[in-house]
């Protein structure tokens, strides 16, 4: 192989990738709140799981905290895209705080489903990752202990329910579609009367990004997912690529994280990004390849998205 051949590389750029409608809306909410009320505006939890996004909003006057108790009474607070337990807005209201809920409408829909099933006398089972803020928020729509969590088909085999005839399930929106099929199948096998969504509650953005990865994974010597280590949907994309036959799939937050040694000898790389990763970081990664290889970029588009969510009315009204 000659030197010039060795430096030739094809980048398969997955589409859809990166920001989803819920992330777009959540970031807009923080920016509009800063315009409306001035700095500081408090944000409970990272608005979305991305350091670049959080640092940018912090530089504009947002203050990120983990708990509502860390916020003063007299400044607005925004709840992150992942959703919050019912106790959080209740505590903010009790303190007469101004708050804006940036929970993605597709997560809120799951909250409403869980509450509705419970009102109908069904015990809830949630398929999700323990400790993830979305799971904590969805389980927190009902009193402590009311929602049972299962993470794997093995959990389904041991979960103890009140009445196997009166059960419903919901899921986190950012799970692996394929893994969730197995968990739902295990639930339906053990509890044939269980009710739930048509398939699961995984959102369009999670589904589309996973399908796009599957379309390129087996053609790539390596696949990089731009995203954060605490981003559930981004981590799932790395797993999907591995399972689809890509022998080296890695999460990178920025171009500086790329392990160039591990990529030695490769001729094709897939690139995608989690729903919370801004396009500027994807371009940074592409530019890093262009600086090292004679790079051809091929867009592989498996779906088009045109979902948009309105920001809450309070931010659309003139001051
Ligand atoms: O960890 P998640 O994938 O739930 O969140 P992230 O990375 O911030 O993505 C956007 C918010 C998704 C909520 O469903
Ligand atoms: Fe909403 Fe899906 Fe984006 Fe989460 S990943 S914010 S559920 S659109």
Write down the residue that tokens 């916020």 correspond to.
71
Closest residue by CA, ligand 2 atom 6: 22
Tell me whether residue 176 is in a domain. yes
Last residue in a domain, options 190, 224, 247: 190
Give the pLDDT confidence score for residue 319 in this predicted structure: 60
User: Distance from the CA of 260 to the center of ligand 1, in angstroms?
Assistant: 28
Which residues are annotated as catalytic? Answer: 134
Express each pLDDT in 74-116 by its tens digit. Answer: 999 999 999 999 999 999 999 999 999 999 999 999 999 999 9
Q: Is the residue at 317 inside a domain?
A: no
Given a cut of 90, is residue 271 above it in pLDDT?
yes
- Residue 173 CA: nearest ligand 1 atom is 14
User: Does 224 share its domain with 296?
Assistant: yes
For residues 33 and 46, what is the distance between their CA atoms, to the nearest angstrom? 15
Pair (85, 115) in one structural domain: no
The whole-number pLDDT of residue 317 equals 84
Q: Which domain holds residue 164?
A: 105-190
Answer yes or no: is 26 within a domain. Answer: yes
Are 156 and 216 in the same domain?
A: no
> How far, in Å, CA of 269 to CA of 14, rounded?
11
In a domain, 163, yes or no: yes
Q: Which ligand is nearest to the CA of 105?
A: 2
CATH number where 230 lies? 3.40.1010.20
Rg (CA), the chain: 21
Tens digits of per-residue pLDDT, 276-312?
Answer: 999 999 999 999 999 999 999 999 999 999 999 999 9
Q: Per the domain annotation, does 196 fall within a domain? A: no
Question: Where is the domain boundary, 104, 121, 155?
Answer: 104
Relative to the CA of 172, which ligand 1 atom is closest?
14
Same domain as 236, residue 209: yes
Q: In terms of domains, do 215 and 295 share one?
A: yes
pLDDT of residue 1: 46
- Based on the structure, what is the number of domains in the chain? 3
CA of 241 to the centre of ligand 1 (A): 19
- Can you give the pTM of this predicted structure? 0.97
158 C-alpha to ligand 2 centroid (Å):
30
Distance 80 CA to ligand 1 centre (A): 9
Asked whether residue 315 is assigned to any structural domain, the reply reads no
One domain, residues 16 and 65 = no
Domain at 35, CATH number: 3.40.50.11270
Determine the distance from the C-alpha atom of residue 108 to the mean position of all C-alpha atoms in its chain, rounded to a whole number. Answer: 14
Residues 91 and 117 grouped into a single domain: no
Ligand 2 pocket test, candidate residues 234, 275, 276, most atoms within 8 A of CB: 275
Last residue of a domain, one of 64, 79, 104: 104
* Ligand 1 lined by 48 (C-beta under 6 Å): yes
- Please give the DSSP secondary-structure letter assigned to residue 47: S
Q: Is residue 249 part of a domain?
A: yes
- Asked if residue 316 is part of any domain, the answer here is no
């Amino acid at each position: 192989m000659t030197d010039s051949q060795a430096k030739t590389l094809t980048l398969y750029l997955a589409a859809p990738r990166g920001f989803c409608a819920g992330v777009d809306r959540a970031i807009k909410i923080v920016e509009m709140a800063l315009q409306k009320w001035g700095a500081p505006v408090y944000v409970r939890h990272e608005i979305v799981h991305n350091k670049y996004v959080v640092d940018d909003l912090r530089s504009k006057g947002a203050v990120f905290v983990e708990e509502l108790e860390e916020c003063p009474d007299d400044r607005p607070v925004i709840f992150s895209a992942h959703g919050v337990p019912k106790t959080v807005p209740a505590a903010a209201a009790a303190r007469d705080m101004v708050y804006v809920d940036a929970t993605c409408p597709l997560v809120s829909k799951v909250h409403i489903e869980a509450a509705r099933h419970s009102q109908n006398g069904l015990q809830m089972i949630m398929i999700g990752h323990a400790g993830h803020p979305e799971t904590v928020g969805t389980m927190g729509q009902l009193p402590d202990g009311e929602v049972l969590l299962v993470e794997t088909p093995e959990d389904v085999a041991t979960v103890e329910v009140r009445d196997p005839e009166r059960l419903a399930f919901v899921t986190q929106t950012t799970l692996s579609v394929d893994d969730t099929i197995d968990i739902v199948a295990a639930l339906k096998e053990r509890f044939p009367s269980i009710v739930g969504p048509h398939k699961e509650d995984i959102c369009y953005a999670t589904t589309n990004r996973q399908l796009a990865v599957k379309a390129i994974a087996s053609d790539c010597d390596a696949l990089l997912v731009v995203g954060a280590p605490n981003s559930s949907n981004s981590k799932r994309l790395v797993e999907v690529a591995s399972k689809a036959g890509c022998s080296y799939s890695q999460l990178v937050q920025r171009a500086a994280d790329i392990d160039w040694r591990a990529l030695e000898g490769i001729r094709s790389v897939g690139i995608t990004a989690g729903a919370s990763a801004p396009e500027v970081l994807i371009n940074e990664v592409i530019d890093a390849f262009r600086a090292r290889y004679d790079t051809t970029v091929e867009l592989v588009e498996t779906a088009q998205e045109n979902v948009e969510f309105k920001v809450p009315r309070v931010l659309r009204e003139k001051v």
